[in-house]
Amino acid sequence: MSKTRIRHVPGILLLLLLFSVTGTTQFSASDSTEFIKGADVSFIPQIEDLGGVYSNEGVPQDPLTIFKDHGVNYIRLKLWHTPDEDYNNLEKILVMARRIEDQGLKFLLNFHYSDDWADPGKQTKPVAWEGLSFEVLKDSVYQYTKHVIQALNDQGTLPEMVQVGNEITPGMLWPDGRVGGSYDTPQQWQQFGELLKSAILGVRESCAGGDSIQIMIHIDRGGSNSGSRWFFDNLHAENVEYDIIGLSYYPWWHGTLGQLTSNLNDLAARYDKDIIVVETAYPWTLQWYDSQPNIVGSGNDLHAGYPASVLGQSLFLRDLIQIIRNTNNQKGIGLFYWAPEYISVEPLRSPWENCALFGFNGDALNSMDVFLEEPIDIPAVNVTVRLNTATLMDTLQENHYTQIRGEVSGLTVNDLPDGQRVTWEEDSELILENAGGDYWEVTFQMYPGDELSYKFWTGFGFRQGTFQRLGWEGPITPPPGFTGNRRVFVAGEQDTVLNLQYYNSTSDYKDQYWRPFESKEDSTAIYFRVNMGKLMDSGRFDPDVNGPIAVRGDAATSGGQLDWDVSKVILQREEYSVNNESFWAGTCYIANSDVADAIPIQYKFYVENDSEIGWENSIPNRQVYTTGSDTTLHWQYFDESGSTSLVDPENSKLGMSFRLRPNFPNPFNQQTRIQYALENPTFVTLKVYNLQGKLVSVLVQEEQAPGTYSRVWNAEVNGNIIPTGIYFIHLETEYGLQTQKMLFVK
């Protein structure tokens, strides 16, 4: 049963794409065994002895054959010293090793150095080793390890990889090799290091091929960078020589995928070791089959975007593989799914049945097909989406929040080629950055032929939406050929910047590329917008009595479209706008022949039927420079000063006299470096905001000369480390505002 990642792409279009982009095939020709796709199947002997049957599409088969046919290339087995039952011992390991060899699969042996489970909660010595002196204990570890590897070598089933200890974050063979807590002492770390060296030496001196076996050190802190650093920094101080870092990552215990990503990238750079996520899993249901309570039985254990379903299990596994593949310096070399075979049989039963890769009846789930998938060899294209929120009936500011929510179908599902996730929920990672005033932009990657269905969401923070529809825009009519209430983009073979799109605050359907004004070939449109809410609250302005609002200004620089004495541009009250319809908006059309780039247009807002003077009288003249492109001016309160500089919508991030660069590293754990460049002298404010739009830190607030600047932020406020989450860097100068998104993970 072989399936690919191709979904929802019409057959003819797909064939054209594959032949035009790659010439022959959609997948790379690299050997699938280069990336480890492993499974720990230590329960197979016991389940088979109790009558358990595994099948593929209803046909009973050897479970190792099923795994191999679904892309698994490595098998992991755990070894206990002298277990109470006749399983997980050397005799059973030898039998399973022959079966692994017969299937042409590779083999990872996991020494627990215990008679039972060894994990972060217990590292109990084998009964046979109790009461031994430390020197005799070291020798026992050496001799035992050597004996096991010799036995495997003698029957021609030498493992390619050996794991010395299981989840040994707190050490092993307690209390002699215990570390952490009250045992976090130089003496304990030295003893722990010596025990590991004895085990490794036993592997190396077991046989002629012992030196070729890769040695893994396995801990449980997949999502904890601080915990991982603590362990491996101390281990390296003991000069323990090993090849691979092994991590357990179960999302209900070990943090988010973002935290895992950050940890993988940091460990790869810090220790220059290959890394394997050697234990992981995800539930395909929250239901029970037997009377044994399941370890993962609550919806609280799930991650957003990954339901407890076969699809959710597939999405999790696919995304995890992508994260590991994308680890810095290509140090992420694979993963092992823990106990995918652990189905329920009497009297064993299973607390893991809903996390297996087989259904309750023992038939392989479709989620196992993810192991067959290979990296797509079609080059991705960059897509830039631009949004204008001048039509949002709320007071959105540059430090607030705009987001694309939706789904992508085609060669990818949910996760884009650059790793960003797009969903219809709040966890969608396509967050637009402010490009000045009402203009917002985001750039991401798609594969040619992929279809993105989406809508815009706006908010004052991550979860606090604007007042209409809790942040969601109104109904949208997609381009011809598509149906439904959505925006649609189908990626081509070239980088693309989509036409500017406007947010729909109304309850009426709007075309995807609608505009709040008419575009004219011979004229430039300037969309004015003012908020009269404060005047309404003060009692000075009654819309029904004193309205409407006009724009008056300099006739010479506006081609006669504005006038200081006559109201030629009348603004209309925005129905359904915030604060009792407090916004007024309208368009001024200036002939292109009258547009003067270097000369600003002077203007003010004017109350037509004011009982006083009608003018904004507490501020100097407003002004705007025109560029020949239709644009909007970011809303302002009547009679309050603020930036109204025009943004060129066709080139909104280029030609600026300053630039905020992406911070590095990002995501980051302890500190990150923020860089920006200035082409002209200007007053600079560099601030950090959280998702709720609350100011977190002011890094710069001073006049600065042209040049390149760098600031390091330690992710703390008043000496306290900030919470994990998304933050925004705001660089504001006299020429406008730029924003970058960054992710902090503890």
Q: Which residues participate in catalysis according to the annotation?
A: 167, 279
Q: Provide φ and ψ at 186, rounded to 5°.
A: -55, -40
Between CA 354 and CA 91 the distance in angstroms is 30
Smallest Cα–Cα separation from 232: which of 267, 265, 262, 203? 267
Smallest Cα–Cα separation from 665: which of 385, 320, 268? 268
Q: Provide φ and ψ at 139, rounded to 5°.
A: -65, -35
Q: Is 530 helix (H, G, I), strand (E, B) or coil?
A: strand
Kindly report whether the peptide bond that precedes residue 175 is cis, defined as omega within 30 degrees of 0.
yes
Contact 93, 58 (CB under 8 A): no
Between CA 186 and CA 355 the distance in angstroms is 40
Contact 377, 319 (CB under 8 A): no
Contact 305, 247 (CB under 8 A): no
Residues facing residue 49 across a β-bridge: none
Q: Is 720 helix (H, G, I), strand (E, B) or coil?
A: strand
Between CA 329 and CA 444 the distance in angstroms is 22
Cα angle at 524 between 519 and 526, to 5 degrees? 90
CA 425 to chain centre: 13
At residue 705, what is the residue type?
Answer: A
Structure tokens at 657: 């006299």
Instruction: Tell me which H or E stretch contains 368.
Output: none
Structure tokens at 2: 């072989």
Phi-psi group of 580: left, alpha or beta (phi > 0 → left; psi -120 to 50 → alpha; rest → beta): left
Between CA 176 and CA 189 the distance in angstroms is 10
| Whole-number Cα distances in Å, 274 to 36, 168, 262, 357 | 12, 18, 15, 26
Instruction: Tell me which H or E stretch contains 292.
Output: none
Residues facing residue 453 across a β-bridge: 407, 488
Q: Is 578 helix (H, G, I), strand (E, B) or coil?
A: helix
The radius of gyration computed from the CA coordinates of the chain, to the nearest angstrom, equals 32
Between CA 705 and CA 56 the distance in angstroms is 69
Kindly report whether the peptide bond that precedes residue 347 is cis, defined as omega within 30 degrees of 0.
yes
Between CA 39 and CA 371 the distance in angstroms is 10
Kindly report whether the peptide bond that precedes residue 665 is cis, defined as omega within 30 degrees of 0.
yes
At residue 569, what is the residue type?
Answer: V
Beta-carbon count within 10 A of 585 CB = 23
Tokens 């092992």 belong to which residue?
336
Task: Kindly tell me the sign of the dihedral angle through the C-alpha atoms of 278, 279, 284, 288.
Answer: positive
Between CA 260 and CA 258 the distance in angstroms is 5
Between CA 437 and CA 607 the distance in angstroms is 24
Cα angle at 669 between 665 and 670, to 5 degrees? 95
Tokens 């692994």 belong to which residue?
100
